[in-house]
Structure 1
Amino acid sequence: MFFKFLLFLNLLYFVFSSKLDILKKKKKNIFFINKYYNKTNYNNSYNNTNYNNSNNNGVRRKIIKRYNALIVLSCNKKSYFGSEYIFNKIYNDNIKQNGDKASELLQRANYIRDVNGLYNILPLGLRVINKIKYFVNHHLEKINSHCLMLSILQAKKLWNISDRSKLYSDEFLYVYKQKQQKLNKNAEEIVKNKMEDDGCILSPTCEEASLSLINQVFNENITAKCLPILIHQFNYKFRNEKRFEKSLFKSKEFLMKDGYSFHSSEKCMNETYEIYKDCYSHILQQLNITHNIIKKRKKDKMNALESHEFQVLCRDGKYKEAAHIFKLGDYYSKKLNIKYLDKKNEKKYILMGSYGIGIYRLLYFLVDSFYDHEGIKLPEHLAPFTVYLIQTNQKSKYSSTKIRKILGEVKTKAGQVFTVNDAQQKEALSGGAECNENKQNNENKTIESTERIFYNPLNSNDVEYVLALFIYNTFKNNNVDIYYDDTDLHLSRKLKNCDLIGVPNRIIINLNKTDKNVKVPVDFYNYIDSSQNILTNKLYLAFQNITIEHRKRSSQETKMMTIQQLFRYFKFM
């Protein structure tokens, strides 16, 4: 009896240990990102901690590749039908901007629009800007910087305390509180009092605001254990620039990534400063933007101990500022009287750094660096769309009405329609003799339900449109943002739009007589938007040998390939 009891305990131990191993493996798969990216070593530089060449390069590359895939999936991808895009028929071919080809292309491609010197971002431009933000944020998360958002409105009193209100007085854009004033005061005195006392400004930069925020978050009780702290935000800045340029590069309102770091020691501040320098340099290198890092010697409005400017070489041969980092020391903490408690219980002033990079400027430099006589050429991970789908058959608009009507009927009868898979599931759920008795009834229901959707036989134009919808939905379901130009525009205009807006891949559907005669399944509507395995999709089995044209924008190569080769090229199978 005792022997049986021991045997039972051994079996229990074996079962539970195997389950624990499975749970550990799952946990590793779920939290591998935190393991490799959320630990920041401030004793090493950015390159050494994140991009060093070690014996585990193969494993590291796989992790980075998988992490990049997760970042791309979080970029709020969305595919479009051309007929649903409201700016698809707005042409700006006559826009000319002498000496600034990048700004000209941005407006011609409907990325931005200039209204009274202020730039409004249109949907295509917003898609690219969001991808730039995610790309930059991905690199900042590696150095353990936390993203937040500070208020655009700032109290001018903070700027008076830091003695920067006079330095920035010409660049301030004021917002005043409505306050009752006595009738005997002059208008000039009222304006002056509001500017000096209760005025608010639109944020030109956030050194004072960020330091005050950290002090309040920790209830004015910051200790050495809390430091260092790295924060950053993507927010709009407002500056009444005197040297105003009519371009996205320099305007009164612009989107910027500004980051701030807070430290207890000068050594930590210097190391973080170098980490940020390497981080910004790596961001520009990843974008293939040629740049120089220039050390600034003179003190400017930031009152920095040391600063470096990242200058980008433009097509006109001039270097323009893309980013700027500042080592501020304890200047602002002394002015605002914000201290931390060290290990000896002594209060000391917090050391600080400031790091800014222009998001609008990155978009400007990307377009300036990557364009040709046809239009914009952006990197694939930053382009507004990955694929531009064109159907040459102009009669597709008649087929679209017919096919969409069929798909609409399927949706309305979704509660009545049975598929083979549904019948099999019901068969599996039903038990024993009841299953055998109702098997034939379920098969009859599937036949009757498919017969309820009546439609005329598909002609060659319908087959071509079904193929276009199948390709569109396959890319969409595999998280590849695709633009299907189903408008009635001429083919030459569609090709021109594809090159102008900077889509890296172009697919053209132009079927020959043999391909048009392919047999489409009767229940094609069940597979046209299927997210299941492609290899078991009936439409894929019907279309896999059909030939389409694929063109890569970067290499200008045009290849004829089958649907099977196309899906393998994009790694769908």
Structure 2
Amino acid sequence: MLQSKLFTKIERSFPKDEESLNAKLLERGGLVYKNSAGVYSYLPLGWRVIRKISDIIREEMDAIGGQEMFMATLHDKHYLKATGRWDVDVVFKVSEGKNKEPSFNISWTHEEIIAEIAKKYVSSYRDLPFAAYQIQTKFRREPRAKSGLLRGREFLMKDLYSFHASNEDMLRYYDEVAKAYKKVFERCGLKAFYTLAAGGDFTASNTHEFQVASEIGEDTIFACRACMYAENNEVSKLSAEGGSASRSGSKNPSGSRTTGGKDSNKCPKCSAKISEMKSIEVGNIFPLGTKYSEAFDLSFLDKEGNKKLVVMGSYGIGISRLMATAVEIHHDDNGIIWPESLAPFRVHLLELGDVSAKDIYADLQKRNIEVLYDDREVSPGGKLVEADLLGIPFRAVISKKTGDKVEVKRRNEKEAKLMEKDEFISLITNN
């Protein structure tokens, strides 16, 4: 793409009304536009990142049998009333007219909706198991919308729901989803801890979160870096070695916390050292049991003809939050450093001064390489600063100084290299 044709522009300075680094970098770089607190529009560069995250998720969900669909955004109140969630604080409610009581809510989550849909199509054990997912906008009344895209009032999310004849089958699929989620986060350039957590408004059972260590995170976890197991502070009986103990568990005479006589400073999975850290939740998985099946009489006949309730699981990934987390984790003083799998383009091609990079641009396009070609009449220094801010993995510079060669610099490295054009093309196409 020609950068001169990109309708968004890079700002000279960071937005003054933002506190979070992810919002500062994404807004200044022209990837998102802030409409109001916690509400953002995704501009062309930002939407390319969102699409790449979504495609990775789709590939991994399809690989475990997920079927993509798209559910309604406006929900009649009977759905949340049926499960006692109509009065949850975060729900946005809508009335049909002036002075009328709210009769709808805007999608906060879809457990109730999918349970009622499934009821129409499930009658026998032969109809189970199956899993369906969607990528959709969610809305929550968020009083603390000060973390950029990490905590929004409107945000993008992937939610997967699974339906089973038994709890054992649900737990088998639960583990399969956990492995798929691990692949998603690894492909997105993030190291996520598999974290024991509470069920919140979704279930009374313990659940699991996927947490990325970050000082700006709102959660506290006790984590093992050796095997990537962790426990959320809200449910943990672990404590960090030489650090403060969690709120759970009982104190022994020395003042540290213990669990059933075990050393709570050691990982229960591999016995390595436990560390306390702040973290960002990027995904979660919930064993729902029959809570929603009971509310909507979602049942089936087993092989013996007995009526049984369907067992459900729910699994979410915050897509916009994942993009923001990638920015929080992968950046330096000059700007974003996108993981190659998420970058809006693979190559940022800059022509500096009175030269043209059209030939190499055409060559890269012919090879289906995603290129942002900075053909603008902007100072060389300005182009270089903006390239660092946008964080595209490879910067290729053509100038009088480079002559017949190309100056190539990876965004995550300090030194640039002069290469023959053929060598550069080979690097990009084979890497």
On whether the aligned pair clears a TM of 0.5, the verdict is yes
Q: CA deviation at 1:382?
A: 0.9
Matching residue of 1:553: 411
Q: Match of 1:25?
A: none
State the match for 2:34 in structure 1: 114
Distance 1:250 1:104 in 2: 14
Q: Which residue identity does 1:176 align to in structure 2?
A: S
- Counterpart CA distance in 2 for 1:124 and 1:289 is 20
Is it true that 1:510 corresponds to 2:399 in the alignment?
yes
Q: What is the 5 A alignment of 1:330-369?
A: 330-369=290-329
Query: Among residues 192, 198, 201, which one is paired with 1:291 in the alignment?
Result: 192
C-alpha separation in 1, matches of 2:148 and 2:339: 22
Identity percentage over the alignment? 30
Partner Cα separation in structure 2 for residue 367 and residue 351 of structure 1: 37
Distance 1:308 1:564 in 2: 48
User: Could you tell me which of 65, 68, 84 is aligned with 1:144?
Assistant: 65
The one-letter code of the counterpart of 1:483 is L
Aligned partners of 1:94, 1:296: CA distance in 2, in Å? 36
**Partners of 2:135 and 2:284 in 1: CA distance:** 15
TM (norm. structure 2) is: 0.81
Task: Please identify runs of 4+ aligned residues in structure 1 that moved more than 6 A.
Answer: none
- CA contact 1:92–1:109 (8 Å) conserved in 2: no
Kindly indicate whether the alpha-carbon contact (under 8 Å) linking 1:97 and 1:103 is maintained by their aligned counterparts in 2: no
- SS of residue matched to 1:242: coil
In the aligned structure 2, how far is the partner of 1:173 from the partner of 1:376?
33
Q: 2: CA distance between counterparts of 1:97 and 1:175?
A: 29
* Corresponding position of 2:116: 212
Task: Check whether the contact 2:20–2:147 (CA below 8 A) recurs between aligned residues.
Answer: no
Is the 1:92–1:107 Cα contact (8 Å) retained in structure 2?
no
Query: Could you tell me which residue of structure 1 aligns to residue 90 of structure 2?
Result: 171
Higher strand share: 2
Task: Tell me which of 356, 370, 378 is aligned to 1:481.
Answer: 370
Once the two structures are overlaid, the 10-residue window that deviates more, 156-165 or 253-262, is: 156-165
> Helix, strand or coil for the counterpart of 2:86?
coil
Partner of 1:242: 143
CA distance in structure 2 between the aligned counterparts of 1:102 and 1:160, rounded to whole angstroms: 37
Task: Tell me the distance in 1 between the aligned counterparts of 2:170 and 2:383.
Answer: 53
Matching residue of 1:43? none
Q: Does 1:160 align with 2:61?
A: no
Cα deviation for residue 563 of structure 1 reads: 1.6
Alignment counterpart, residue 565 of structure 1, candidates 406, 423, 428? 423
Cα distance change on mapping 1:386 and 1:571 into 2, 3 Å: closer
User: C-alpha separation between the residues in 2 aligned to 1:301 and 1:571?
Assistant: 48
5+ residue gaps, structure 1: 1-79, 179-186, 395-463, 516-545
Distance 2:36 2:61 in 1: 35
What is the 5 A alignment of 1:367-406? 367-394=327-354
Structure showing greater radius of gyration is: 1
Q: Which range is displaced more, 110-119 or 365-374?
A: 110-119
Match of 2:270 in 1: none
SS in 1 for 2:131: strand
Name the residue aligned to 1:231. Answer: 132
AA of the residue aligned to 1:295: L
Give deviations 1:375-407, integer Å, cap 9, x for gaps.
10011121111111111124xxxxxxxxxxxxx
Picking from 253, 256, 260, the partner of 2:154 is 253
Question: Structure 2: which amino acid aligns with 1:175?
Answer: V
Aligned partner of residue 177 in structure 1, secondary structure: coil
User: Aligned with 1:557: secondary structure?
Assistant: coil
CA contact (8 A) 1:173 1:238 kept: yes
Q: Which letter maps to 2:2? A: F
In 2, Cα distance between equivalents of 1:162 and 1:98:
37
Count of matched residue positions in the alignment of Structure 1 and Structure 2: 370
TM normalised by structure 1 equals: 0.61
The alignment partner of 2:53 has SS state of helix
SS of aligned partner of 1:570: helix
